[in-house]
Chains A and B, each alone.
Chain A
Amino acid sequence: MSVRTVKGFAKGLALAAAFVLPAFAATSSGPAPGFQLSGRGGKAIDLSQFKGQVVMINFWATWCGPCRQEMPLLEDIYKKYKPMGFTLVGVNVEPDAKGAEAWLSKQKPVSFPIAFDTDSKVSKMYKVAGMPSTVFVDRKGNIRIMHKGYKPGDENIYLTQIRSMLKE
């Protein structure tokens, strides 16, 4: 290996580090920002009504493939853990709430509360950096973890987090 090649690789490695290190994004923490949005059928949804429960906020959109993929799994998780003091809030980030509600009515029924963040205020407050984004809020109302994206198998990460937070 020539000196030039080694230097080239070293430069490449330095660049790689510069690209990769910022990816260790700071996980959100602190009290979960409160919000009031309208839900299905015009019913209002306020984050404070869930105080004392473990809350999983899932930011989703009808145009996002992985979001659609994880929805039935979220429904299963909600039905299983609701009796233990857990709730799921699906925050739809699209400007057209009626369209999103119509889309929901054509899918397998989803029983957890859905809120419509039509002007992206809540998405901005939670610094949503990927679609979907899932935020876990503990019983005291503090954000514990923010999970970006969904890949099959991520539901296991969700279950581990929920179970540990339910024990508190």
Chain B
Amino acid sequence: MSNNPRTGLLRFVITCLAFAGAAGFVVDASAGVLPEDRADLLYFRYEGGGVTISGPSMLVQKSIGEHVSLSANYYIDMVSSASVDVETSASPYEDERTQSSLSASFLLGKSTYSVGYVNSDESDYQAKTLIMGVSHDMFGDLTTISFGYKEGKNDVFRNVKIDDVKVNDPAFEEHMESKGYTVGISQIITKNLLLSGQFEVVTDEGFLRSPYRSVRFFIDPFSQGRQDEIYPNTRSSNAGSIRAKYFLPWRAAVDGMYRFYTDTWGVIGHTGELGYVHPLDLPHFGGQWIFETRVRYYTQTAADFYQDIFPRADFSNFMARDKELATYNAITAGLTATYEFKIERFPWLSKGSLNLRYDYMTVNYDNFRDARFSLGRFGELPDEPLAPGTEPLYKLNANIFQFYISAFF
């Protein structure tokens, strides 16, 4: 039983809505809408910072009768990594992560109930997540409120090389658990403007650091030592976001989003995103095209116990050097081209589309330095190693490609 007043309140609200939904079903006043029937196949490729991740992802969504919709997703990440962290501490590695998920939505009156299960497997990490949600349409279907709950149980292992074979270290097995609560509201403002807000609370407990990463500290001004990271065993975070989408008179849409994030580790994050989508009829190029462009800006201030290099060994109770927790900003800009088609021979296919998306991401770290200038790569020192703490700040650029086919039934 949670004593956290916020989670208690959310649970109470969920109960209220469960009753409202159940009552709505009995009366069957009017109905919301089930997710649409569709199938998608995606091929993606991320290349940046010495890391290449590629793979397929498949999604199928189908309604059964008038009240139930099922959804299944299968996704594989094939990772080839020689990131800056890997280069300064280990040897390049390859791994594969498989994620499969299954979910069901139930439409009863004006409420939609959903439940889902996600399983993620890679050689050193296994994650199982249960997701539940309820959403309810009100005020003439102009307002939708939704509540969600998510619970994850993860097992963490550590890979070692024995006789050149990668295996799990038999002496290493850790666990962590995560619980998340979401509240959301979506509101139609005018016949051209939609507004949506969401608030999410997440609490993690258990083994929260990477088994591979170490922090560095000054032994003297010209030499550095390494020791394991030490993380707190809990982390609680709050995130609130607001987004708006506006229909433009020439049939296009512009949207914007802002998210504020804060947690008990001291990380503060601001996310802002703008997008513009424009359908275009190009008879010489086959017909219906849709173009979309998006820009995303992210800025973060570091966790309290993060430092690129600590003044000495055992400096504080908690120490981290994960650049995910550093102070940095990132800009991602992308373009999507969609070609829509219909095939006369397949009347059951109401619409199909071919989609190509490219994003360019650039990340600039304010307090994470490129330690390859002092430590070298894969144990090989550079010709003129720099003194620790004087290396240039790290920068990362990535190219992200996506090609996906969508079919609507």
* Chain A–chain B contact at Cβ < 8 A: yes
Q: Interface residues, chain A, CB within 8 Å of chain B?
A: 8-9, 11-13, 15-17, 19-20, 23-25, 129-130, 148-149, 151-153
Contacting residues, chain B, for A20 (C-beta < 8 A): 20, 23-24, 27, 29
Q: Which of the candidate stretches B11-19, B39-47, B354-362 sits at the interface with the other chain?
A: B11-19
CB contacts (< 8 Å) of B31 on chain A: these are: 149, 151
Q: Indicate if the CB atoms of B19 and A8 lie closer than 8 Å.
A: no
| Residue on B nearest A10 in the bound complex, by CB | B19
A19 touches B20 (CB 8 A): yes
- 10 tightest Cβ-Cβ pairs between the two chains A and B: A23-B29, A16-B19, A12-B16, A16-B20, A12-B19, A16-B23, A20-B23, A19-B20, A15-B16, A12-B15
Main secondary structure of the interface of B (DSSP, over half): helix
Write out the residue numbers on chain B whose beta carbons fall within 8 Å of the beta carbon of A151.
Answer: 31, 66
Assess whether B29 is in contact with A24, with CB atoms less than 8 Å apart.
yes
Residue of B nearest to A151 (CB): B66
Docked pose: A129 CA to B142 CA in angstroms: 12
Residues in A with CB closer than 8 Å to B138 are 19
Question: Is B20 within 8 A of A24, CB to CB?
Answer: no
Residues of B with C-beta under 8 A to A25: 29
A16 pairs with B16, CB closer than 8 A: yes
Give the contacting residue for B16; candidates A11, A23, A148; CB below 8 A.
A11
Least CB distance from A29 to B in Å reads 19
In the complex, 18 of the A-B residue pairs with CB atoms within 8 angstroms, ordered by the A residue number, are A9-B19, A12-B12, A12-B18, A13-B19, A15-B19, A15-B20, A16-B22, A16-B24, A19-B24, A20-B24, A20-B27, A20-B29, A23-B24, A24-B29, A25-B29, A130-B30, A148-B30, A149-B31
**Is the C-beta of B347 less than 8 angstroms from some C-beta in chain A?**
no
Q: Tell me the B138-191 residues at the A interface (CB within 8 Å).
A: 138, 140
Question: B30 near A23 (CB under 8 angstroms)?
Answer: yes
> With the chains together, A129 CA to B19 CA distance in Å?
25
Q: How far is the CA of A13 from the CA of B15 in the complex (A)?
A: 9
A12-B16, A151-B66 known, 6 other contacts, Cβ within 8 Å: A9-B19, A12-B19, A16-B20, A24-B29, A130-B30, A149-B30
Q: Give B63 Cβ to nearest chain A Cβ, in Å.
A: 12
Q: What chain B residues lie within 8 Å of A16 (beta carbons)?
A: 16, 19-20, 22-24
Question: CA A148 – CA B24 in complex, angstroms?
Answer: 16
Interchain CB contact under 8 A, A19 and B15: no
Complex Cα distance A130/B33, Å?
Answer: 13
| In the complex, chain B residues whose CB is within 8 Å of the CB of A15 | 16, 19-20
Closest to A152 in B: B66
Chain B CB within 10 A, most for which of A15, A19, A129, A148: A19
Question: What's the Cα separation between A149 and B22 when bound, in Å?
Answer: 20
